[in-house]
Amino acid sequence: MINAFRVMDPERRGYVLQDDLVNFEGTKFSALFIRMVFETYIAPDLSRERHMGLIQFADFVLAWRDRSSSAAVSYFFNIFDVDNKGYLSRVDIHMFFKEV
């Protein structure tokens, strides 16, 4: 896990930004998906920026690598449920598929 984090943070800042995560492990994530990961799971700091630390990065990686687990499904559901309604609407699904 720490090696994957270091690959995403070659400058050794101690955090990962949205732009760093777009090409994680050879996968090309949409900008919308990554933005929603950060908005859902990472609180902005005093400068209103969102930095993904090692713990949040580990949560993301574990969910991504084991997408069929119930924990991963819950993790990604929270991202796709844009308005926090408790269900995915056509608008939510369309918004993400449009990006692909």
Instruction: Average the pLDDT over 42-49 and give the result.
Output: 80
Percent of residues, the chain, with pLDDT higher than 70: 100
pLDDT value of residue 34? 94
Say what the pTM is: 0.86
How many whole angstroms separate alpha carbon 76 and alpha carbon 100?
A: 16
For the record, the structure tokens of 71 come out as: 């924990």
Which pLDDT does position 49 carry in this prediction?
82
Identity (one letter) of the amino acid at 10? P
CA 39 – CA 33 distance, rounded (Å): 10
> So what's the pLDDT on residue 2?
87
| Residue 94 CB partners (closer than 8 Å, separation 6+) | none
pLDDT (mean) for 12-36: 89
Query: What pLDDT is recorded for position 1?
Result: 84
